[in-house]
Amino acid sequence: MDGSEKIIPLVIGKFLKPRCMKNCKSLPLFYDANSKAWMTADIWEKTLRRWDLNFSKQKRKVALIADNCTAHCTVDGLKSIELVFLPPNSTCVLQPLDQGIIQNFKATYRKLLLQDMISAIDRKE
């Protein structure tokens, strides 16, 4: 693994079936929804199980580092993923770049992801 691998992104929206996606058969991402468009324990578990199945098929073991978000709960029965939780209240100490560089990266990534989504919707895939 050289850092070039990309996992299909997860987008969380407010509506399970948004009108803009009604004719779209597939998107270049996984989509889930809840009323606040936040990560929940259920979405977290579904995502980890999907990744675990994929990594198991590839016969790979990975460690996933997670912060102390309340949605980031432990998930039993994972075969290929080991969850490693950061100590409480350590995120701000361990992620000093979060103020600028990561914020710019996230904004650029979201823009590109939205462009891909819009293209898929326009093609009605």
d(CA 1, CA 61): 12
Enter the pTM of the model. 0.74
The CA dihedral of 100, 104, 107, 109, to the nearest 10 degrees, is: -130
Encode pLDDT of 61-99 as tens digits. Answer: 999 988 888 899 999 999 999 999 988 877 677 666 566
Helix-then-strand count for the chain, H and E: 3, 4
Query: Which residue type sits at 63?
Result: A
